[in-house]
Amino acid sequence: MTGHLADERLRTFGQPARITVWPPGDSLLCMGDAEVRLRIVARDDAFVVEKQDRGGAWCWLLTSEWLDVARRYLLWEIGGWVEAAAGRRPGRTRADEPLRDGFTLTDLGPSGFLLSWTESAGERSARLLRGLGPSKTIRFARFADAAEETIVRRFGAAGASSELMRARAQQRSSRDPASTGNERAAVAELGRLLREELPPDADRITLRAIVLTSVGASTMTVRRADGMRELVQGREAVVTDAVATLRKAAYLTDLGTWFGLEMTVTSAGDLTTRFNHDDEPDWGPVSVDPIAYVMDQRRYPRSETAQPQWLRDHLAEGRVRLHQRLVDWGSELFHRIAPGVVLDQHPLPEDDAVVVVHPVRGGGSIYVAPDESVLFMASAVPPHQALEMFRSGRRTPVERFGASRPAAAGGG
C-alpha cells in the first residue's frame, strides 16, 4: 500500500475537527467523530466508501475498483470537515466550471455519476452517489489523482492558513471589549431575524451569504418537519443589512473580514455560524468583476501576507481594469471641455486612483477616485496641493463638465 499514510498521520490531520481513526472492524479504514463516520469496505471485488450518521445505517457514497481512489475520496471528505472546523469554508465549484482535462464524467441516471481518468499507474474510475450532484463530483476530480499527503497538506491546518488563524485568534483575544461586543450583538441580531423567518412547520433555517462591499448574494433554506428542504425569500433587504453589519463588526486590522457565512437557527433557538475568511467565494455562473475585490480591499484592507493567492490575483487584475476605467472616464470628461486635446495620465497607487493631465500651460488636471468621483484642478495649483485636496474628499460635480470649462477648485 505504497503512498498510504499511517493512522497516526491521519489522526493528526483530523484533530482540528475532533476526527480520529476508529478501530477498523470489518472495514479497511474508518474515520470520523462521535456522530459521523466514514469507512471503506471491500465488497464484490471493489472498494466502497460509506457514511454513518449518529449510529444509523451505513449509506453508500462511492465505489471504485481501486483502494487508492477510495482512500483519496474519504480523505477529501474529511478535509472538508477539517476546513469547516478551522473556519475556512471549503472551496465550491462554479456552475460553469469545466471538468479537469483528462477526466470524463458520465451520468448513469439513478445509478449515480461515473468519473474516469488516467494517471501514471493506469486507468482509474469511481462511481459516485447521484445525490452528491455533478458539482461535487467535479470538485473531487481536483484531487482524484492526488497523493494522500497532497490532500492532507491542502486541507490540513499546516501552513499559511494556520498562521492566519493563529493571528486572528490573537488579535481577537486582544480586541477592545466594545468591538467584541459589537460582533456578538451583530451575530445575535442576525440570528433573531432568521428566527423570525422560520415557518411554523420548519425545524431550522439556514442562511448562506457571500459578500463584498459592492456586491453580494445569499440564499435562505428551511427544513420542514418531513425532512424536505426549500428556499424561502424572506425580508431580503433587512437580512442583507444585518449581514453587512456583522461583516463590518468582524473586521480585524490587516487581517480583513470574512467573504462568506453560513448561519443556521433551529426552532429550539440553537444558533451555529461558520465563516469563510480565505477561500474564494462561489458566485455561480455569473463572474464578479475583479474591481469589486479592489473596492472591498479599500474598505476592509488586508496586508499582503493575509491575502490568499486567488485574492492577490483578483486584486492585480482588478487594479489594471480599474486603472483603465478611471483613465477612460477622466479622458471623457476632459474632452467634454477640451475636445481633441492630447492627455497624459499618471497612476496614484496609494489611492487606487489616477490623474489625467493636459500638459500645457492653462491645461489643468482631473483627479479620478475609485468611485469615479472627480476633482478638476487648474494647472496653476501645485501638484502636491492638488493631491492633498483630492485626498481630503473635495470633488467637482460631474454636471459641471459641459460646453464651458468648469470653475476649478483652488483657483485658476
Q: Write down the pLDDT at residue 411.
A: 44
Q: Write down the pLDDT at residue 162.
A: 56
Using the 3D structure, point to which of 100, 122, 156 is the last residue of a domain. Answer: 156
Q: Kindly state the average pLDDT of the residues 126-139.
A: 89
- Structural domain for 36, as ranges: 8-156
Give yes or no for residue 272 having a pLDDT over 80: yes
Residues 288 and 348 placed together within one structural domain of the fold: no
Regarding predicted confidence, which is higher, 73 or 410? 73
Residues 348 and 271 placed together within one structural domain of the fold: no
Q: Write down the pLDDT at residue 1.
A: 42
Domain contains 165: no
CA distance 79 to 77: 5
Domain count, the chain: 3
- DSSP letter assigned to residue 254: B
Residue identified by cell 411554523 is 200
Q: Write down the pLDDT at residue 223.
A: 84
Q: Write down the pLDDT at residue 405.
A: 46
Q: Tell me the DSSP string of 185-204.
A: HHHHHHHHHHHHH--TTEEE
Q: Kindly state the average pLDDT of the residues 13-26.
A: 87
Domain contains 201: yes
pLDDT tens-digit map of 315-334: 999 999 999 999 999 999 99
Regarding predicted confidence, which is higher, 395 or 285? 395
The band of 174, judged by pLDDT with boundaries at 50, 70 and 90, is low
User: Alpha helix locations (H) across 41-112?
Assistant: 67-85
Give yes or no for residue 408 having a pLDDT over 60: no
Residues 152 and 13 placed together within one structural domain of the fold: yes
Residues 268 and 231 placed together within one structural domain of the fold: yes
CA dihedral 74, 75, 81, 84 (to 10 degrees): -140
Q: What is the CATH number of the domain that holds 239?
A: 3.30.500
Q: Write down the pLDDT at residue 158.
A: 45
Residues 297 and 342 placed together within one structural domain of the fold: no
Q: Write down the pLDDT at residue 244.
A: 95
Regarding predicted confidence, which is higher, 87 or 18? 18
Using DSSP bridges, classify how beta strands 353-357 and 344-348 pair: parallel, antiparallel or unpaired.
antiparallel
Give yes or no for residue 404 having a pLDDT over 60: no
Q: Write down the pLDDT at residue 231.
A: 74
Q: Write down the pLDDT at residue 202.
A: 87
Of 155-159, 293-297, 306-310, 366-370, the least confident: 155-159
Regarding predicted confidence, which is higher, 88 or 380? 380
Q: Kindly state the average pLDDT of the residues 128-155.
A: 88
Supply the pTM of this predicted model. 0.58
Q: Write down the pLDDT at residue 234.
A: 65
Domain contains 409: no
CA dihedral 67, 69, 75, 77 (to 10 degrees): -120
Give yes or no for residue 308 having a pLDDT over 90: no
The band of 201, judged by pLDDT with boundaries at 50, 70 and 90, is confident
Give yes or no for residue 53 having a pLDDT over 80: yes
Q: Tell me the DSSP string of 88-138.
A: -PPP---TTPPPPTT-EEEE-GGG-EEEEEEETTEEEEEEE-GGGHHHHHH
Residues 234 and 273 placed together within one structural domain of the fold: yes
Residues 43 and 88 placed together within one structural domain of the fold: yes
The band of 102, judged by pLDDT with boundaries at 50, 70 and 90, is confident
Residue identified by cell 476592509 is 300
Residues 88 and 110 placed together within one structural domain of the fold: yes
The band of 412, judged by pLDDT with boundaries at 50, 70 and 90, is very low
Q: Are 222 and 277 in contact (CB under 8 A)?
A: no
Residues 199 and 227 placed together within one structural domain of the fold: yes
CA distance 176 to 179: 5
Domain contains 63: yes
Mean pLDDT taken over the chain: 86
